[in-house]
Amino acid sequence: MLQLPFIRENKDITLAGLRKRHFADAEAVIEQVLSLDQQRRDTQKELDDVLAQSNAKAKEIGALMKSGDKAAAEAAKAETAYLKNRSRELEEALRSVEQQLQDVLVTIPNIPHSSVPEGRTADDNEVVLEHGEKPTLYAGAQPHWELIEQYDIIDFKLGVKISGAGFPVYKGKGARVQRAMINFFLDEALKAGFTEVQPPIVVNEDSGFGTGQLPDKEGQMYYITEDKLYLIPTAEVPITNLYRDVILPENQLPVKNVGYTPCFRREAGSWGAHVRGLNRLHQFDKVEIVRIEKPENSYAALEEMSQHVQSLLQKLELPYRVLRLCGGDMGFTSALTYDMEVWSAAQQRWLEVSSVSNFETYQANRLKLRSKIDRGDGPGKMQLLHTLNGSALALPRILASILENNQTPEGIRVPSILVPYCGFDMI
């Protein structure tokens, strides 16, 4: 959530950022925020004045009673009763305007970083780099949804029987390659200095709000009605919420966590060839990295995270490219996002496998995640921290690309980095 003082003091910058995002009615929404903010401040000032008068009258009544001036004391009591009623009215008015202000603020997305390109759709994203050679497949090569049936490693029909579409069953070597990738991704994160955590895979509403999934993405999340809990769309949600309402000591920064979880997304309205097979699922496995940084270090941390994800793709021998997302294609909470896409040789298209994002203070403001940081000019000042996260990596499309890019007439070659983890080099 954007900080109110920032909006108040940087109206033009805020509007320019929202226009880059193509946020509808930006001017009207910001004017509403500023109007409600002024109303809130005026109401707070009047309430403070009334409370001060009420306290002064209470002292005056005591002095009048001691002096024996009962008539004046009774008159002062009547004034005090009025002031108390007025303070209750103002407190209610203040709660109302604060709620109205909060309801508007949560609808406003983050302000893009200055490096975010202009644009409305994925077609306008900027290609930062491309790495690796696209493989040339033999005649008769197949897309992964054909390969998994041929080699009997994933069963979508069984998944439909048990749960529904988008819930595959991994079998035999398919299951073992999944486990191999999870362990490989976790081990690489540990080598990079991340601490592994194993969080819950259901979260409450406060957690969904803290990282920005609520109230923006209710339709994409599975909801357990009776318990008022959500199945997580990504491990970002529970891991980042470990630090909700926390004041982190400066000497504990940066925080670097990694976690493996299954993830759940309803993906309402998704259909067509582009979501076939492993391309889009309702349940999938993912290893997530999360960092909490001092503001001045967060963009260097973002570049480190991007390099970490790229190193995984290089070790898996997959051709990939890095995109800087344009204003119109960014996530609601992000200030800057890099997408990593791998080349799917049989489908002849790029598949997104990771997003790495810096949220600056947007999530931290919702989470009330702060630190008292010493700037060398006196006692440390309390300030919001920056949060970042990235997929390192999401498994389905990585597996799809491995199957398609490494297929041969004799079988599917397993990337050499995974062989020690799964115990075989061919499917």
37 Cβ contact partners less than 8 Å away, ≥ 6 residues apart: 4, 7, 8, 101
Distance CA 62, CA 297 (A): 57
Question: Does the pLDDT of residue 323 top 80, yes or no?
Answer: yes
159-201 pLDDT, tens per residue? Answer: 999 999 999 999 999 999 999 999 999 999 999 999 999 999 9
Least confident interval from 61-70, 77-86, 102-111 = 61-70
What are the beta bridge partners of residue 292? 255, 387
Q: What angle do CA 229, 233, 235 make, to 5 degrees?
A: 95
Distance CA 424, CA 353 (A): 24
In CATH, what is the architecture of 122-422?
A: 2-Layer Sandwich (3.30)
Distance CA 109, CA 20 (A): 11
Question: Does the pLDDT of residue 73 top 80, yes or no?
Answer: no
The gap from C-alpha 380 to its chain's centroid, in whole angstroms, comes to 28
**Mean pLDDT value across residues 408-425:** 97
Domain range annotation of the chain = 4-105, 122-422
Distances (CA, A) of 287 to 179, 300, 345, 383: 11, 21, 24, 29
Distance CA 116, CA 17 (A): 10
Question: Does the pLDDT of residue 414 top 80, yes or no?
Answer: yes
166: left (phi over 0), alpha (psi -120 to 50) or beta: left
215-231 pLDDT, tens per residue? Answer: 877 889 999 999 999 99
Which residue type does 144 have?
H
CATH hierarchy code of domain 4-105: 1.10.287.40
